[in-house]
Amino acid sequence: MSWWRHAVIYQVYVWSFADSDGDGIGDLRGVRSRLPYLRELGVDAIWLNPFYPSPQADNGYDVADYRDVDPRFGVLADADDLIHDAHALGLRIIIDLVPNHTSSEHPWFRAALAAPPGAAVRGRYLFRDGRGRYGDRPPNNWTSRFGGRAWTRAPDGQWYLHLFAPQQPDLDWTDDEVRAEFRDILRYWLDRGVDGFRIDVAHGLAKDPQMPDVSAEPGSAHPHWDLDEVHDVYRDWRRILDGYPGDRVFVGEIWVQSTERLALYLRPDELHTAFNFEFLTAPWEAAALRKAVDDSRRALGPVGAPATWVLSNHDVVRHVTRYGGGETGLRRARAAILLMLALPGSAYLYQGEELGLPEVEDLPDEVRRDPVFQRTGGADPGRDGCRVPLPWSAASASLGFGPGPESWLPQPPAWAALTAERQNGDPTSTLNLYRAALALRRDLNGELTWLSTPGGVLAFRRGSGFLCVINVGDSAVRLPAEARSGALLLTSSARVPGDFLPGATAAWYRC
């Protein structure tokens, strides 16, 4: 079976993982120094957020050069060394690819701005004339995902499209040069040994060429998300990937209206896997969690793709906080990870969740970097709260993040109690819960079979000898008979008393 069908992939947000040189910013050497930690944790692969040269208007998702390393993070040899060392430890490397847009500092876009309207180099991007007598109104009503309109006017009067920040102009994927460029980028990194790509905004490359206004009518097709033409790109890319040895993989960031639409991206000649956002966004309710599991498995089965499970990433509020925060949120988060890791398919972990880190909600305005915060005038706090650098040890001012006294976002003093070093020796810690669950998960196999349970409780078998039970409610419930007669393998709480499962608790049994 292909490794990616059952792998656990750990997301490394390079800015915030580990700083090797004391400048307060994480880097590739820092990541390399912590590879043994990730191996001991028990993951199979690492997904690295963008480390390419970039003005960092969106923390690296505005790429100026797709074939190099930003000096903040090191040099190209550091990427090579990281790939080599990871492979030596049995870890695979997946890197972020950003094909929807480049940086406004990319040489292509600089050339486009310098050229007159209609020039071939402008055809790589989406420049359009404005509306109104003087062309001073945007070409349509499209809005940016980061707030405000999705169009910025160039000095010569034309407008260019940016579905995100103005510093992130959208590429035109009907242009042959764009397609050829990304084929070459794929080969460049595959030749350097990466094991796959996470595709940013994979549902957004195709746009309706008529550029119509977004309609408010229910059921209307969206003019720039999830258009069928995008699938031609991924069929083309899949042929490239399949030409390389080593079972390389694509995973898509795909926000669509239904799991049925998601499945179209995962047909055998397109992407391998995609993030399961229905599961991530499901509320802390038994029925909602089960629906997310069932919907995913039902939709993906016909195309032969595995489901993926994820609770947090660099774009969403950490799930300890989403699940209520404080001790309640942590108990629910610990239970949720046992649910997630017991499910068939692959799983994604976001750095720091194994430490039980909450969202940092009280960052000072002056330190926030997310363009979402800037473009909404602070109405949306943005995503900085889930990107605060990790606490490794209480022995330094930056909690072991690096040799310097500071980190690019300030760490809460309370995180001194959550460091990896402190949790390492505590058998009841969240870190050791993750380690135990990941070790046991390697022996799980077989299909999922749900058991009949009372409301607020989920229970399922994997094969004939494993049972997972999760109590989503607040009060203790009597365990199913199968669990009462089985052997307890692992629990998310300190203990499971007798025949009852406490609220916000999950347990694994051999039975």
Name every residue whose Cβ is closer than 8 Å to that of residue 267 and which is 6 or more positions away in sequence: 231, 303
Alpha-carbon gap, residue 283 to 182, rounded angstroms: 38
Please give the single-letter amino acid code of residue 507: A
Alpha-carbon gap, residue 276 to 306, rounded angstroms: 10
Please give the single-letter amino acid code of residue 141: N
- Please, which residues bridge with residue 490 across strands? 508
Task: Considering the candidates 195, 226, 253, 354, report the single residue annotated as catalytic.
Answer: 253
* Active-site residue, 253 included: yes
Q: From 330, 408, 342, select the one nearest 369 (Cα to Cα).
A: 408
* Active-site residue, 370 included: no
For residue 179, what are the CA distances in angstroms to 161, 186, 207, 341? 18, 11, 15, 37
Buried b (16+ CB within 10 A) or exposed e, 11-26: bbbbbbbbbbeeebbb
CA angle 272, 274, 278 (to 5 degrees): 150
Task: Considering the candidates 200, 270, 278, 370, report the single residue annotated as catalytic.
Answer: 200
Using an 8 Å Cβ cutoff, are 238 and 204 in contact?
no
DSSP 241-260: HHTSSS--EEEE----S-HH
Alpha-carbon gap, residue 139 to 155, rounded angstroms: 16
Name every residue whose Cβ is closer than 8 Å to that of residue 419 and which is 6 or more positions away in sequence: 355, 391, 392, 393, 394, 399, 400
Please give the single-letter amino acid code of residue 98: V
- Could you count the other beta carbons within 10 Å of the beta carbon of residue 291? 14
Instruction: Please name the helix (run of DSSP H) or strand (run of DSSP E) that holds residue 477, with its range, or none.
Output: strand 477-478
- 71: tokens are 């000096």
Rounding to the nearest 10 degrees, give the CA dihedral for residues 496, 497, 502, 508: 30
3-state secondary structure of 360: coil
Using an 8 Å Cβ cutoff, are 273 and 346 in contact?
yes
What are the start-end ranges of the H helices in 272-401? 277-281, 286-300, 319-322, 326-342, 371-375
Tokens 């919907």, located at residue: 295
Catalytic (active-site) positions: 200, 253
